Amino acid sequence: MTYPPALPHDPIEEIAPDIFLARGSHRLNAVIRISRNMLIVRHNGELTVVNPLRLMPSGEAQLRGLGTVKHVMRTGPMHGLDDPYYVDTFNADFWSQAGGTTYTEPKIDHELSEGGDLPFPGAELFCFHNTVQPEGALLFKTGKGLLATCDAIQHYGDYKHNNLPARMMMPYIGFPKTTIIGPIWIKVMTPEGASLKPEFERLLAHDFDALVSAHGSFLQTGAKAAVKKAIHKVFADD
C-alpha cells in the first residue's frame, strides 16, 4: 500500500501531563497548504495517536521515544488520511465511531461511543448528536480541563503551517485569528433544516479551560469563554 507522504511539522511538545501535540500541515491541493494537528496521549508507556498526522523521520523517532504506539483514534470523519499508515506501521488498534463515509478504512477494532471505553483514563468522549457524519471531542480532566476537538471547534492564535496563499485567504473565508466554530464543518455536518446549537450548548455543560483541535494552535486558558463566544456568533439568530 502507498501511504501519503509526511509534510513539515513542529517537534512534538507536551501540553499537559502525558498529553502531547504535533503541529503540522496538510496539502489541500497544488496551491493551498493548511495546518493539521495530531494529539498523542500516553498511559503506562502506551501511546494513542488521535487524528493521526504522518511525521517526518525525525518526528517519528521522537514519537517512538515517547512510548509504544498501540492505539489510533479518529474523532472526526474528515481526518482519516494517515490512519492506515499508523495502524499498519505500528500494528495498532483502531478506534472510531461507526458510520463515517469520508474515510472507510481501516476496519474499526473498537467502536467509540459517548460514555464508552477509551484506551486511556482521565478522559471522556463527547459525541455530537444529529450530525451528517459522526463527530466527537475528548474532554480530559487534567488541570482545569482540556477540550480536544477535531473540526467542530478550532482556535487560531497564529497561521503557522498555512502557506502564504492560505494565510491570505483565512480571514476572508471564516478562519480569523480567534476561536471559531469550523465554518466548513458546520455547513457540511448540519442536516438540512436542522440546527446543531443544542449540541454545542450540551458541550458547554462540561468543564474545560484549555482547547486543542486538529487545526490551528493550542489555547492554554480561557477556552470555555472563547467557545461560548464562538457559539453565540454562529447561532445568534437561532
Once rounded to an integer, what is the mean pLDDT over residues 213-221?
A: 98
> Which stretches does DSSP call E strand in the chain?
13-16, 19-27, 33-43, 46-50, 68-74, 93-96, 110-111, 123-127, 136-140, 146-148, 153-155, 179-181, 210-212
Region for 45 from its dihedrals, namely left if φ exceeds 0, alpha if ψ lies in -120 to 50, beta otherwise: left
Residue 209 one-letter amino acid: D
pLDDT tens figures, 145-193: 999 999 999 999 999 999 999 999 999 999 999 999 999 999 999 999 9
Q: Check whether 1 has a pLDDT greater than 90.
A: no
Whether the predicted model's global pTM rises above the 0.85 cut: yes
The percent of residues above 90 in pLDDT, for the chain, comes to: 96
- Which class for 43: exposed (0-12), middle (13-18), buried (19 or more C-beta within 10 A)? middle
Residue 30: predicted pLDDT: 83
d(CA 85, CA 76): 17
**29 band by pLDDT with thresholds 50, 70 and 90:** confident
How is domain 13-235 classified at the architecture level of CATH? 4-Layer Sandwich (3.60)
Whether 237 shows a pLDDT value over 80: the answer reads no
CA atoms of 29 and 132, how far apart (whole Å): 25
pLDDT digits (tens, 9 = 90+) for 83-103: 999 999 999 999 999 999 999
C-alpha cell at 155: 482556535
Task: Write down the number of H helices and E strands in the chain.
Answer: 6, 13
Predicted local distance difference test score (pLDDT) of residue 28: 84
Whether 116 shows a pLDDT value over 90: the answer reads yes
pLDDT of 205: 97
Contact 133, 102 (CB under 8 A): yes
> What sign results for the dihedral spanned by CA atoms 206, 159, 230, 199?
negative
- Work out the average pLDDT over 230-234: 97
Beginning with the edge strand found earlier in the chain, give each strand of the sheet holding 123-127 in spatial order.
123-127, 136-140, 146-148, 210-212
Confidence at residue 179, expressed as pLDDT on a 0 to 100 scale: 98
Asked whether the bond before 106 is cis by omega within 30 degrees of 0, the reply is yes
Span 57-91, pLDDT tens digits: 999 999 999 999 999 999 999 999 999 999 999 99
What's the full length of the chain, in residues? 238
What does the pLDDT average to over 6-32? 95
Are the C-beta atoms of 137 and 75 separated by less than 8 Å? yes
CB 115 within 8 A of CB 124: yes
With bands split at pLDDT 50, 70 and 90, how would you rate the model's confidence at 234?
very high
User: Residues of the chain with pLDDT > 70: what percent?
Assistant: 100
Does residue 21 register a pLDDT over 90?
Answer: yes
Write down the mean pLDDT value for the chain.
Answer: 96
